Each structure stands twice: as C-alpha cells, then as structure tokens.
Structure 1
C-alpha cells in the first residue's frame, strides 16, 4: 500500500498534518502566556527565577538536548548507513555524561545567568565576557541552522511542498514562532514548552518502537536482518554492510579521519553548549540541580537506545531509496516510518512531535543567545554594569528578533542537509571555543585572561574558517552551496584540528603572560564551584 512513499504527495493528509500543527502551537502558546505573567526582572526572564524543581528541570533538559537531530537526523542516518548512523546516538549520549561529570554542576554553582559569568569570575571581566558572548552567539546560530533545516525538510514532506520557495516560507514561519515564544514567555515559558515537548517526543518514540518490535515478533535480530537485506539491495546502499562500522566512515584514510573528527566534536561538544548549561540556573539549589541530572540521564539514555530500533526499523520497513527520494531526504525517515506503522494519523502525531521538538529547541537557543548578548555584551561591556534589569530584558527581546531573522536566512541556505551532521558542526564550535576555557577556569589556578582570550578566539576562528573551506560548504554534491568549490580543508568536521588547538592556545596564552591571576578570587571560585556556597544567593539576585 505504501510503496509509492517516494512521492511526497502520498504521505498522509496535509490537512490533518496542518490541523495537528495548529493544535500544538495553540496549546503551547496558551501555556507560554499563562507562564509569562511575571517576566519583568532579568532573573525571571533569563532563568525563570530559579523556580523549577529538579524533576521539572530534568525533563526540560531532556527536551532541550533531544533536538531534531536526535529524532530526525539520527533515525535517518541509521536507516541509510546503519551502524555508522548509530554512532551519533553513542556520541551524543557519551557527550552528555562527559558534560555532567566535567562541568555542569560546577558551572551552576559558580554562575548566575550565563556561561560568561563563570569564565569572567576570576579573570578580567569585559574582554572575557565579550569573547564568551560572541562564542555563545556563534554556537547558537549553528545549532539554530540545524533546527531550521529540519523544519524545512519535515514540513516539505508533510504538506507536499517541494519547491525551495515554499520550504523557505515554512522555515520563516518557524523562525517567527520562535520569536513569539521567547518574547512572550522568556525562560519560564520556554521551559514549559520544553517539558511538554520532551514528554511528547519520548512517548511518541517509545510507542513507535513498540510497534516496530511488534511487527517483527519482538525479535531484534529479524529487524537487523531485514534492514541489511533492504539496504544492501537498494540503489542507495547497494552492497553496503550496515551491521558493522564503515558504511559511511570506512574505506579511505580521509574518511576515517572524518569519523575521528566527528567523534571528538560529539563527545566533547556538549560540555561547551551554552543553552544546555544555562538550564542548570533554573533550579534554586545545588541539590535540585543534582536531581535534575538524574532525571535527564534516565530520559536521554533511554531515548538514544530507542533510536537504534527506529533507525533500523525505518531501513527494514521503508527502505533507504524511499527515504532519500522523499522531501527532506534522511530527515524524512522517522515520519515515513510512522506512516508505515499507523497511517495518516500516526504520521500527523509523530510529525507534530518533531515540529514541537524543533520549536522548543530553537526557543531555548534563542533565549540563551539573547541573554548572553544583553547580560554580557550590553550590560557588562557596553554599559560597564550601569544598566537596569528592565533594560537588559528589553535588549534581550530586540536580540531575539535579530537572531530570528538571521537564523531564518541561514536555515534557508542549509535546507536539505542532514541535521545530525549540522548539529555536529555546532558541537565542534562549542568544543573548540568554549570547553578549553571552561575546563581551565574550573581546574587550573594559573589560568589567566590571555589564555582565555587566545583559547576562545583561536578555537572559534579556526573552527569557522575550517568549516567554511570544507566539503560541508562547497565542493561536493551534498554541500550547502552545491555547484561551487572553494574548499581546501579535506574534512567535513574540523574537530580533530580545532579542539586540540583551542586547548593548546589556552596553555600558550597563559604561560606567555605575566599575569599571575587573582589568588583570592581563585580560592573563592574553587570553594563555590565545589560546594555551592553562594550560588543560591547569586541565582536569586
């Protein structure tokens, strides 16, 4: 019955899909408006006044972290490349554990609103805040790029919009909705959207997993065997062995380097993602922060195990040829699987969940980036601390609008790319520009301002330059700018070069400076990061 799914016009009913989308937007806007009645102060707008419990924040963290890349991109990568696609799941999960072990609670105990609060705690405030804020904006833009591209592909499939102009309009609508959510709801409204989205996403993925297992008599081996037969016999993956490594990143030495570079970016990137780290400021105490970690680990870990069944299930039941010929390409695997399992209604529900995923994540990214600009650049650098909280909120709202417009333009350019791959680029920026400075600030007493600036600007600049001149942007059929070729860097992900460079520059900058650091501030930061003493007062301030 579903052998013609390659034609987007046969995939479900556009009217049903639009109806479910509108219902979701209506419900979440109602929640956002109800939650936003008190958003005058910077603390309320940026961190919800630290008013969420540990379990609530844990669910919201899962909602923030499980982006469209986790649901659409990974399922598609597994459906086409098998084991190599599952490496994204492994990388994202291990990355989350690394972030928690290395920096999450220490950052929460030391900071107030943003990552720059921590990095400037014992260093020269203005230059470090400027560098940290710029890095936050760049990471947020790359992540927004991925979510917008996912929105274009998803809605193109569901609403039968195949031309670029129509898909660009869809991306613009997502950007406008993001702006509205943040302007109205701030962090409190955004958190509730993320909680709703996390529940819907995990429940929807779990139901699909049960349905896939039921089709194969609860036999995972049968799923894997049928997936292998379907992929190896297809035009897309002819002869490809998807049950072992190498389908995507095997063969040449360059391909293996690409895999290593991608793995480094995935595993180390989360610990430098500002929008994930900022979530720990929405709870009132260190104890609640630890409770939120437990909830987040359970939900995120469970979800990434589910993606294995969803991806191979899509390979076995839908097939890579139909996935790659549909609008959205790899990102269409999960919706097509939903249609195969439950028809139009199931497709509409799962697609609404994916749409909710995109909206929730872009809202979280937007408020993080706008808070960083308003709090770190405007209030601390431009106004030198002489700025009221209402002014910070006003500037943050203006920043959201500007950021939304920029992300719409970039999302249109990136439309059609695999969003798990695009998110990996954001992880590379975070791991290269943010992580070295965060680690050195928390664990190295000798670390000073020059080391921080060299590390952040060096890691940020090298990552962006290598990405711009890589096959990800030009020089290959799947590039963001097809038909042009100005690439000279051979790897699609620059992590293997830019991440070590960021760490090395931090060491060289520190050791070549005569600045011995601030011993009292070093001691205060060490005690506060390890014990949480003073953190509650700072967050509530």
Structure 2
C-alpha cells in the first residue's frame, strides 16, 4: 500500500494539495468576479465592460484571452513529443497575432460597437449579414470551447490521477459549470479581471519554470537539446514510430514523410497565421477601451507578453522532453497535454505542480469565459436584437438572452469536450483557427478594404467558409478513422488532411469575390466612404449608423 501511494505521488503529486490550491484560486477569482459584477447593469457593461479599461489593463486581458490552454498545455506537450514540428504552433500563433494587428484590430475597433457583425453589417444589409456572422462566431467559439474543456479534463485528471473515462467526464462538466457561473455573475468586466490576473500568473509561472529548467539541466540551450535527444533515444514511443532520436531537432517528426502529411503542415500553418484575425473573442477585446490610442497601447503590452510567452514554450517543451520523457508523458491521463504539469512536478515538487496547474486552470476558465461572452453577445445582439426584434429589443432583454445562450453553449461544450478529451488541445484550437480564417477573415478584409464588396458576396463567403471547414473537419482523420480521433472506433474519413484550411480558406475568398462580381451592388456607397474614414481615423465612432 505504501509503495502504491509513493508511486502515485511520484506521478501526479499530492491530489489533496492540488485540489486545495484549485479551490482557493476559484474562491479568490469568484470573489473578484462577484464584486465587479455588481456594476454590470447595462448591455454595454455585460458585453464590453462599458469600454472602461485602460490600455495596460486591456493588454493584459488580451494576453489572458489569447494564451489559452492550447498555448500552455498543448504546445508544451507538442514540442516534447514532436520537437521542431510542435514548435510550429508557437510560431503560428504569434505570427497570426501580428497579422491581426496590422490588418484588422484598429479598423475593427473604430467601426464596431459590441460584436464582429457590427463591422460586417456597417455598409451591408443588416439581417443576412448578422445571421451569417452569428453562425460563424458560434462555430469558432464552440471549437475553441471544446479545446479548453478537453484541456481542463486532462489537467485535473493528471492532478487527481483520474484514469477512468467517467471521472474525467465529471471534471469537464464541473469546469463547464464554473465557467457558466463566471460569465453569468460578472459579464465582461468580471471576465476581464480574471483574464488580467491569469495573464500575470501564467507569464510569471512560465518564466519561473524556464529558469528552473536551465538550473535542472545545469547548462544552456545546447545541453537542453542534447538531453532531449538522449531521452528520445531511450523512448519506446520513438522506437515504435521508427524515428531517430535526433529528429526531435529537425522538421518532419510529425509532418514529414508522405506528401499528404506535408500538405497537412502547410494547411495547419495557413490556418494558424490567418486564424487570429477572424477570432471574434480576441477582436471583441478592442471594444473594451475608450479610444484608439488606448487600443494601440493595449496592443503593445499584448505583444510583449505574448511574444515572451511563446519563446519560453520552446524551453518548456524541450525541458519536458529532457526531464520527463515522452513515454511518461503519453502514459499520463490526457497524454501530451500532461507534459507541462509533469514538468512542474519534476522541477519543484508537488506544491509547485499544484500552483502551476492552478494557473493552467485559470487559463482555461478565463478563455472559456471570454468565448462564452462573445458567443452570447453575438446571439443576443446580432440575431435577437438585430434580426428578430429589428433593433428594438431592450438592453434587459438582450442581456437575458445572452445569459440563456451562455447556459446552452456551456452544456453543448461540456458534451463535445468529453468526446475530445484524448486530443491534443493545441490541435483542437488549430481547428478553431481554421474555421475562423475560413468563415470570418475574408468578409472582414473585404468589408474594410474593398468598396465593391456587397451583401451577397459577404453571405456567400461566410457560409462557404464555415460550411466547407465544418464538413471537411467532420470528414477528416481528426474525427474518425484513427486511434486518436474523436470517434476512434468508426471510420468515415474521406478527406486526408486533419486541418481544412488549405481548402476552406481559398474557397471562402473565392466565393466572396465571385458572388460580389456577378451580383448587383447594394447601392450603399455613402456608407462605404463613411466606413473608410471611420476605420482609418476613428472619427464618428460614437455616432449610430442609419441604413
């Protein structure tokens, strides 16, 4: 009995200590949310926090929103197992952020009010565009939520040594319930404060882990890489795959070999780089500051934090490979997603693992709360108010519909999160990026920069993008046909790539261009000129738009 307990503690730390830290963290953040939530009375408070945050605060919150469980749990695990190929996620996520800033962020903030559809419908016909934008927002949010739920299930399963499917499913359900509570109580204000707290804790925790990795290996990058290669050389997993240990430092460990795998690599990179500019929950953060100047300031802070974080994931990923090893990582509940907590256990023992895991759990809660806010705002503001009530719904009714949407979305994400628990969360988020780049980005860019663009083109682009992305994902090996799929015992996969972006993104752009050119203009040229001036200068941001 003693031997069994010691073995358990060596693998997962002290479960009682882990849960105690979790409970304390949830209690503290829930107290913050409840205090802030008392000032949430209007729709603008619930959706954008009343645009009352400073650039520094919003920069922290953007980092908190963007650095999800995929960034911490998924990327570290991906690098630990797949080496150089795993680092593609870090590069892709960071470069994608730069694309969003250069092309989309400030013009979107100057034109919109609550949601992405405010921008898309500025000079287009309101109802068809708002419905299509809401569908795209819900699809992206749902995929992102699935990834966070799967990450939470993996994380808590490692901490409590829960290997059973039922126990892990209960964990995912609890995370979903806590997320719903955060959003219902605090709205955007409460969510933003949680994201700020989480950003500071996450970047601080990762910084400490990075230093401890170099202390543990007693050397620099060369020693780190040599130790990772040495650990891979003795790995049964690597030997079964038929790889050389040194391939952890070279491209191709995951996406090399066949022509199909190489196309999958290109498709993933395209989805990651273009996806952020279409993520509604990240773009919505720019509505929480009062001026364009504060928006630019928030961007500066976000770049610093996000860039530093993704550089450190390289150290943590190879650190997990060197100090924990791929066999031990893959044997843990949650597979590759367990690499970061197990590395924390190796570096600082049970207490440090509990603290780092609490930060990872905060990451999940902060991101799912932001996603839920965005999706609920889209349903209430775009569909209920803009389409069903013709813009005449009261703010109280909109907030009520938002709260109902949060509950429904939470339940759906719990169910799908349980199905996806064995998937790497970085990969799951890449699917959300593919849907965002396909469904939203073409229409956003065309609306901001192409005067000829019309409603028919926007609707065709959005439906083509979201439809093709979802169909190709459903028909891909990510859902069926392989042991790591969501449905491993079934096989209807006829599309060979796990990421649909290589096909769905060009289709969405093509649909927008072709349908715009063959259909009649909207005859709203005056709004096109107004949108151009407002997007570039911010003049008239507070003025309503009359169609």
TM-score (norm 2): 0.97
Whole-Å separation in 2 of the counterparts to 1:340 and 1:55: 34
Correspondence for 2:171: 170
Correspondence for 2:48: 47
Provide structure 2 residue ranges, at least 5 long, that are not aligned to the other structure. none
Correspondence for 2:338: 332
Query: 1:71 and 2:77 equivalent?
Result: no
How far apart are residue 255 of structure 1 and its match? 0.5
Q: In the TM superposition, what are the counterparts of 1:437-452 in structure 2 within 5 Å?
A: 437-452=443-458
How far apart are residue 10 of structure 1 and its match? 3.5
Q: In the TM superposition, what are the counterparts of 1:386-405 in structure 2 within 5 Å?
A: 386-405=392-411
How far apart are residue 94 of structure 1 and its match? 0.2
Q: Residues 62 and 138 from structure 1, CA distance in 2 versus in 1: closer, same or farther, beyond 3 angstroms? A: same
Q: In the TM superposition, what are the counterparts of 1:130-529 in structure 2 within 5 Å?
A: 130-238=131-239, 239-240=244-245, 241-529=247-535
Whole-Å separation in 2 of the counterparts to 1:479 and 1:322: 21
Q: Residues 449 and 353 from structure 1, CA distance in 2 versus in 1: closer, same or farther, beyond 3 angstroms? A: same
Whole-Å separation in 1 of the counterparts to 2:103 and 2:8: 47
Whole-Å separation in 2 of the counterparts to 1:189 and 1:131: 29
How far apart are residue 537 of structure 1 and its match? 5.4
Contact 2:169/2:418 (8 A) holds in 1: yes
Whole-Å separation in 2 of the counterparts to 1:130 and 1:162: 42
Contact 2:455/2:522 (8 A) holds in 1: no
Measured against aligned partners, the alpha-carbon deviations of 1:375-427 in whole angstroms (never above 9, x if no partner) come to: 00000101111111111011100110111101101101111110000000000
Whole-Å separation in 2 of the counterparts to 1:5 and 1:204: 26
Contact 2:11/2:342 (8 A) holds in 1: no
Measured against aligned partners, the alpha-carbon deviations of 1:61-87 in whole angstroms (never above 9, x if no partner) come to: 000000000000000000001000001
Correspondence for 1:90: 91
Contact 1:236/1:320 (8 A) holds in 2: yes
3-state DSSP of counterpart to 1:327: coil
Correspondence for 1:116: 117
Whole-Å separation in 1 of the counterparts to 2:238 and 2:507: 36
Whole-Å separation in 1 of the counterparts to 2:534 and 2:521: 23
Whole-Å separation in 2 of the counterparts to 1:384 and 1:5: 64
Whole-Å separation in 2 of the counterparts to 1:537 and 1:166: 52
How far apart are residue 236 of structure 1 and its match? 1.3
Q: Residues 259 and 6 from structure 1, CA distance in 2 versus in 1: closer, same or farther, beyond 3 angstroms? A: farther
Moved more, 137-146 or 527-536: 527-536
Whole-Å separation in 2 of the counterparts to 1:6 and 1:134: 48
Whole-Å separation in 2 of the counterparts to 1:38 and 1:337: 41
Contact 1:528/1:535 (8 A) holds in 2: yes
Q: Residues 283 and 206 from structure 1, CA distance in 2 versus in 1: closer, same or farther, beyond 3 angstroms? A: same
Moved more, 515-524 or 259-268: 515-524
How far apart are residue 217 of structure 1 and its match? 3.0
RMSD of aligned C-alpha atoms?
1.6
Contact 1:110/1:529 (8 A) holds in 2: yes
How far apart are residue 534 of structure 1 and its match? 1.8
How far apart are residue 216 of structure 1 and its match? 2.6
Whole-Å separation in 2 of the counterparts to 1:339 and 1:428: 34
Whole-Å separation in 1 of the counterparts to 2:230 and 2:356: 26
Provide structure 1 residue ranges, at least 5 long, that are not aligned to the other structure. none
Whole-Å separation in 1 of the counterparts to 2:544 and 2:198: 30
Whole-Å separation in 2 of the counterparts to 1:451 and 1:291: 34
Whole-Å separation in 2 of the counterparts to 1:492 and 1:304: 24
Contact 1:450/1:510 (8 A) holds in 2: yes
